[in-house]
Amino acid sequence: MRTLFDKLWDAHVVLTREDGASLLWVDRHYVHEGSHHAFAKLDARGLAVAEPALTVGVADHYVPTRRGGGITDPDIARMVATLEGNAARHGVRLFGLDDPRQGIVHVTGPEQGLTLPGMLVVCGDSHTSTHGALGAYGFGIGATEVAHVLATQTVWQKKPARMRLNFHGTAAPGVGAKDMALHWIAALGADGARGHAVEYAGPAVRALSVEGRLTLCNLSIEGGARCGMVAPDQVLFDWLRARPHAPADFDRAAEDWAGLATDAGAEFDREESIDMGLVAPVVTWGTSPEDAAPITATVPDPARAPEGKAARIAQALDYMGLRPGQKLTEVAVDQVFIGSCTNARIEDLRAAAAVLAGRRAKVPGMVSPGSTLVKAQAEGEGLDRVFRDAGLDWVASGCSMCVGMNGDLVPPGRRCASSTNRNFRGRQGPGARTHLMSPAMVAAAAVTGHLADVRPLLRGRA
């Protein structure tokens, strides 16, 4: 009797050393502009890429989202050109800046069917946990490991402990995968799942679309997990079947994939449960994803915090410019952002548009689709019009305002309602104040000008 994770692990072990380290085979390796350190290491040793066919490059972290006049920042132009040069020299396929399939690596890979169930997927990016939504074992690695994968198509790992996170009940209207994720991270802590491979299970997970599962697995790393995953099912197969790189004999592959489930009675090292009845639309108030609370709550008071937490809360509130006891719905925002590998797939854009349709945003903001194909699909559905009519900027795809390295920044001291994944100090730019929430909640903040409960705004809609 094995868990889903055991099966994924076993299928990739080339060998296990006496000390417990295993050498794992890598089925898919994504690289991006940030992989320049790794390519430099490879070049320094005169090594070639072992399996160029299994390696896929995507330009996302540094690309500008306003692409009218080419890249104006020389530093950014150099980063994109370096990726192009490395990919070309090593025979690695690249979805570059001008490719119609360009997008954020964790959106593009699944969208293209390049990530498939049963695969081991790595990338020099911590949100590689996203790919687990397809029943894959996806995890982020550092530059030394990226160089190792490029050179050998393998990676050394010690088997993580297994954890199952069960979501019981059903999601209330207005509650989605982002809320489920921030809820569990707040409950268990930003290192709550450290050292664990997490399988998301239970009726509320089964009920999620593939896109929702991608969001849930994406945020695994914010709870400290090594990876997150959902067992494949018919919902996934229907989503995957027509992807450009889906297997020719899809049914034969799907037969294999159907076995990728935790056996009845298989043991986990740890099990946790979340009651969906307690999951409301969530926003973060602090500088760690664990600083999350239902939108109906108030800003915590360090004076009433458990010992050991008070100082951290006080520092977070100081940075965020918030008062203890302040109602979260009274926190005014300066701008909004919808984008990132967490929440910029088509369903995310639809959810935000459902709130924004026929309304005006009270603050400026920006919408950056997760991929160029998502952008095209959204435009086909008229969603771009909804965003523009609401007064928001509709820009090209990339990591954009998630990470503050491509020119899209939140100015110092400004407060941004954001569909991204990290509210770390300075993540969206030096001094930026980030509140994480679902794309629908970002839309609610846009139309009200403050953090707001999306539920009343959805009445009679969607």
Binding footprint of ligand SF4 on the chain (CB under 6 A): 60-61, 104-106, 125, 127, 340-341, 399, 402-403, 421
Give the residue among 246, 228, 221, 249 at the shortest CA–CA distance from 236. Answer: 246
Q: Report the nearest approach of other proteins to the CB of residue 33 (Å).
A: 8
**Residue 27 near other proteins by CB under 8 A:** yes
Residues 78-117 binding other proteins (CB under 8 A) are 78-79, 93, 100-101, 111-112, 114, 116
Query: Which residues are 22's β-sheet partners?
Result: 16, 157
Tokens 């302040």 sit at which residue? 326
Q: Report the nearest approach of other proteins to the CB of residue 162 (Å).
A: 15
**Residue 187 near other proteins by CB under 8 A:** no
Written in H, E and C, the secondary structure of 324-343 is: CCCEHHHCECCEEEECCCCC
Give the residue among 231, 229, 244 at the shortest CA–CA distance from 196. Answer: 229
Residues 401-420 binding other proteins (CB under 8 A) are 403-405
Number of residues that bind other proteins (CB under 8 A): 103
Instruction: Pull the structure tokens for residue 12.
Output: 């990739």
**Residue 302 near other proteins by CB under 8 A:** no
**Residue 205 near other proteins by CB under 8 A:** no
Q: Is the Cβ of residue 153 or residue 418 nearer to ligand SF4 in the bound state?
A: 418
Instruction: Pull the structure tokens for residue 363.
Output: 């603050």
What's at 408, amino acid-wise?
D
Per-position x/- string for 322-341, each x denoting binding to other proteins as judged by CB under 8 A, each - no binding: --------------------
Q: Is the Cβ of residue 36 or residue 131 nearer to other proteins in the bound state?
A: 36
21-25 and 154-158 beta bridge pairing? antiparallel
Measured CA to CA, the distance from residue 345 to residue 39 in angstroms comes to: 30
Q: Is the Cβ of residue 86 or residue 428 nearer to ligand SF4 in the bound state?
A: 428
Helices (H), 309-438: 310-320, 346-356, 372-380, 383-390
Q: Report the nearest approach of other proteins to the CB of residue 351 (Å).
A: 8
What counts of helices (H) and strands (E) characterise the chain? Answer: 16, 19
Q: Is the Cβ of residue 61 or residue 213 nearer to ligand SF4 in the bound state?
A: 61
| Binding residue for other proteins, selected from 106, 183, 422, 433, defined by CB under 8 A | 422
**Residue 307 near other proteins by CB under 8 A:** no
**Residue 296 near other proteins by CB under 8 A:** no
Could you say which of other proteins, ligand SF4, none residue 145 binds, taking C-beta under 5 to 8 angstroms by partner kind? other proteins
Query: Which residues are 197's β-sheet partners?
Result: 162, 227
- Sign, CA torsion 396/397/398/404: positive
Q: Report the nearest approach of ligand SF4 to the CB of residue 314 (Å).
A: 28
Could you say which of ligand SF4, other proteins, none residue 341 binds, taking C-beta under 5 to 8 angstroms by partner kind? ligand SF4
Instruction: Pull the structure tokens for residue 214.
Output: 């991608």
Q: Is the Cβ of residue 349 or residue 447 nearer to ligand SF4 in the bound state?
A: 349
Give the residue among 380, 326, 319, 308 at the shortest CA–CA distance from 349. Answer: 380
